[in-house]
Amino acid sequence: MFDTRSSEVDETDDWADDWSLEVDELKGEILFKEAEISRLRGQQLALLRKADRLQVATAEGSRTLADWVTANLDVSPQTAGRMVRVARSAQSDIEAGISSGEYGVDRAVFLCQLRDLGGPEEVITDSSQYSLGHLFGMIDRLRHVDALQEQVLFEDRYMVLQSSLDETSGRFWGQTHGADWHTLEKALIQREGQLPSLEDQSQGQRRVDALASICIDSLTGTRELDQTGRAVTVAEIFVDASLAAPSFGEAGVTLSSGPRVGPNTLSEILCTGKVRVVLCGDDHRPIGVSDLGEAIPPSVRSFVLHRDQGRCQIDGCRSRYRLQPHHIRQRASGGDHDPDNLITLCWYHHHVAIHMMGMRLDPESPPHRRRLTRLWRRDPPT
């Protein structure tokens, strides 16, 4: 028995040695190819310097040499800017490091900046001992920002909020000075990390969801929405009967505050709060007003939250951010506030996944391990 086990261990060790050898060879080949790329990039830089002297970019209608490089080499503006920066630096030792395959353009840019800022020469001549992050940290510490420049940066802050003509969407953009920017970025990244992830969702979409959740906190407080005594949404919805009926709610539905909403938003409003529906005729005058639909009673909310152990019931979700009861059968389809028709979901799965992205609870999944399924309005991608 001892000999058999020894043989198994030896075979395992042999497999591990073979795997390590294969990985080492693979790594060596990757590094060799990267050195080749750097050497070719060094030759490109020399040609770019000549193209700069001949004003090729201006002759071909480009605004800058970096724009010309972006268009012709099919690289990002950031990569093009780095290449032009090194080509124009006229620092032969740094360019020689690229041409020999010692390092790439990113490190060369950092070394050029470090030298321009009066950084230690020994770091530049032996930069292999430092990571790119460490070099960036040195550059950041050496940068100068005087009081006037700081004031100008602060005064240049702005934000633009632009609604679409029909108020179904909005855009925003702007800039701020460094300290506030880092605060904003840190808050978004931190909140983004607290939200569950969905398949096929971009980082930009997650950042917008994170910003929306922070804004909700500022308006309603940071308490979970399931706690008794929380503010409940009260909405008045105006429905143009001639438009809403034939379009199944996709047209002719607006809130009293103005924005036009579609069936997904309407479904969420009906799910989360008290609603009064005002039915309008062809002349846009009210022809009927519903009673104020009751929100889920606090006692029912508390029971559902307790039954679901204060957790989002989507399989694999650990988020407890703004837990909300959701109607399994939508109120628009006749669903009521019975606890059997309610399930606890986090804000992200409730607001983003179900009501905004149109996903639905998989009826075949267990009650405390729910899965989501996507309803395609058109043929799914192949």
**DSSP per residue, 106-125:** HHHHHHHHHHHTT--HHHHH
Q: State residue 260's pLDDT score.
A: 59
Helix axes 77-87, 105-116, angle to 10 degrees: 50
254 neighbors 342 (Cβ within 8 angstroms): no
Give the residue ranges of DSSP H helices in the chain: 2-53, 56-59, 65-73, 77-87, 92-99, 105-116, 121-125, 132-142, 147-155, 178-194, 203-220, 241-247, 263-272, 298-307, 347
* Whole-angstrom Cα Rg for the chain: 30
Instruction: For residue 17, give Cα distances in angstroms to 11, 14, 21.
Output: 10, 5, 6
328-355 core/surface letters (b: 16 or more CB in 10 A; e: else): eebbeeebebeeebbbbbbbbbbbbbbb
Q: State residue 207's pLDDT score.
A: 86
What is the separation of C-alpha 282 from the centre of its chain, rounded to a whole number of angstroms?
Answer: 43
- CA-based torsion, 32, 33, 39, 45: positive or negative: negative
Helix axes 65-73, 2-53, angle to 10 degrees: 130
195 neighbors 319 (Cβ within 8 angstroms): yes
Residue holding tokens 């407080």? 221
Q: State residue 222's pLDDT score.
A: 40
Residue 146 phi/psi, 5-degree rounding, is -80, 170
Q: How many Cβ atoms are within 10 Å of 320's Cβ, its own excluded? A: 15
**Cα separation of 317 and 119, whole Å?**
48
- Mode of pairing for the β-strands spanning 253-255 and 324-327: unpaired
Both tokens of residue 244? 């809403």
Select from 80, 69, 128 the least CA-distant residue to 105: 80
Q: State residue 226's pLDDT score.
A: 38
Long-range contacts of 254-261 (CB under 8 A, 24+ apart): 258/167, 259/167, 259/168, 260/166, 260/167, 260/168, 261/168, 261/237
Per-residue pLDDT of the chain (382 residues), as tens digits, is 334 444 444 555 677 777 888 888 888 899 899 889 889 988 988 899 899 988 888 888 887 888 889 888 888 888 888 899 888 887 888 888 888 888 888 899 899 888 888 888 888 888 888 888 888 888 877 776 656 665 676 678 788 888 887 677 888 888 887 667 777 888 888 888 878 777 777 878 888 888 888 887 777 654 334 333 344 455 666 766 666 656 555 555 666 555 555 666 666 666 666 666 777 776 667 666 655 556 678 888 889 888 988 888 888 887 777 788 888 887 767 778 888 889 998 888 888 888 777 788 888 888 878 888 876 544 444 4
SS3 of residue 21 by DSSP: helix
**Cα separation of 79 and 62, whole Å?**
17
Indicate the burial class of 324 (C-beta count within 10 angstroms; 0-12, 13-18, 19 or more). Answer: buried
Select from 88, 140, 80 the least CA-distant residue to 110: 140
**Cα separation of 324 and 305, whole Å?**
8
Residue holding tokens 């989360």? 272
Q: State residue 251's pLDDT score.
A: 56
Residue 226 CB partners (closer than 8 Å, separation 6+): 301, 302, 304, 305, 323, 324, 325, 344
SS3 of residue 238 by DSSP: strand
Euclidean distance between the first and the last CA atom of the chain, given in angstroms as a whole number? 54
Q: State residue 255's pLDDT score.
A: 65
CA angle 79, 80, 83 (to 5 degrees): 90
